[in-house]
Structure formats: structure tokens, C-alpha cells
Amino acid sequence: MSVVLLSTAYLAPVSYYVLLARAGKVVIEQHENYQKQSYRNRCLIAAANGPMVLSIPVKKNLPGKNSIRDIQLSGHGNWQHMHWNSLVSAYASSPYFAFYRDDIHPFYEKKYKYLFDFNEALREEICALLNLEPRLEYSKSYTTGPETEILDYRELIHPKKQRLEELLPGPYVQVFDRKFGFLPDLSVLDLLFNTGPEACLFLMHKQ
């Protein structure tokens, strides 16, 4: 796979990390306008009652266009505490949660000002835990229109759009799969907590 273009994302789905693992080069867009109800500020996990959306509240936008780099996190509802408790509730019984929890928990204690910085710090940590070393850079300006050398996934990986089946690895054991069956393309944390060191193998090779 050649060069791929991605948006920033909060605990992005497995398909996003498949691209990070397989692409020859990844460009993360940092000059786009913020879009609501996308993976930029939300993720999907498997909880006891089924799929659960964790959404980061952001401060109200000013009138007009708002660059993703300027979007600030809101402290409304103590969301970091709530998201961490949701992750613990969903994955405490998974095989590798105890192994990785001390790597992930600090992100739910430290205060960040900007959504982009928070997302990218988390992504860097998760890539390290997955032993992924993507060849990655940030866009120097907003990328417009199709470019032959770039595969644009900014809007293709989206919670309201059909999953990209060609990017999904085979099923793996999940905490609640006896209750709900296998739930594909959840947050990469679902894959990491359930498969541990084998997570990178799922990302690199379609099972």
C-alpha cells in the first residue's frame, strides 16, 4: 500500500491502525476543519450492554471555520474519569487489560488543552505498545482533491459509513462475544486488550 491520508482520531478503530501498519507512508491531516460526530472525538468499544460510544466533549466552536488544531477539549462532565471507568468496566476481564492499563491510564489523568494533541499522544503510545513504527508525517497544508499518489481515507473511516471490509482482520476473542457475537472494527484498544502481543499480527495480515 502506498501513501494514505488520515484524519486525527480518538482511540481509532482497528481499520485505521491497519492502515498505519501496512501503508508505506501515512499523512495525518492537521489543517482540515473540525467535523462533529466522527472518529476525531469519539470511539466505539464493546461494553456489557453492547457497543458503546465514548465521545469527547469539545468547547463550542467560534462562528465560521475551525481548524482541527484549534479545537479545545472541554472539562464538561469530567469525561476523562467517565471514559476511563467505561474502559475498566468493559475490559477489566480481558486477557491483557492488566498488562497495558498503566500505559493507558495516565492519558485520563493528565490535562490536555487541544483535541489534536491528546489524540496524537494517545496514538503514539498505542503504536509503541503495538510495536508499530509507521512512516508518518503531518500535512503541511490542507489536502484538497484526489491525488494519484495519496489514498484519502479521511472520510472513508467514519462511524456513519459502511465498514471497509478489506481493511478488517479476521475475528478474535472478545470479552462479550458469547453475548453479542464478534463486533468488528471497534477501537484498537479492543484488539490490544483482547489479543495483546498478537495484535500487531492481526493488523499486518488479514486472518
pLDDT, tens only, 8-42: 999 999 999 999 999 999 999 999 999 889 999 99
C-alpha cell of residue 129: 505498545
Distances (CA, A) of 115 to 58, 67, 158: 8, 11, 17
- What SS3 class is residue 45? strand
The radius of gyration of the chain's CA atoms, rounded to the nearest angstrom, is 16
Q: Which residues contact 149 (CB under 8 A, 6 or more apart)?
A: 2, 3
Whether pLDDT at 53 is above 90: yes
Q: What is the mean pLDDT of residues 183-195?
A: 97
What is the reported pTM? Answer: 0.93
CA nearest neighbour of 7 among 145, 155, 150, 112? 155
The pLDDT assigned to 66 comes to 84
Using 50, 70 and 90 to split pLDDT, how confident is the model at 148? low
Q: Is the Cα torsion angle 184, 188, 192, 198 positive or negative in sign?
A: positive
**What is the C-alpha separation between 153 and 155, in angstroms, rounded?**
6
Q: Does residue 147 have a pLDDT over 80?
A: no
> Which residue, 58, 45, 135, is CA-closest to 97?
45
- Partnered with residue 54 across adjacent β-strands are 43
Q: 25 is written with which cell numbers?
A: 507512508
Residue 114 vs residues 46, 120, 125: alpha-carbon distances, Å: 27, 10, 17
Displacement of CA 96 from its chain's centroid (Å): 18
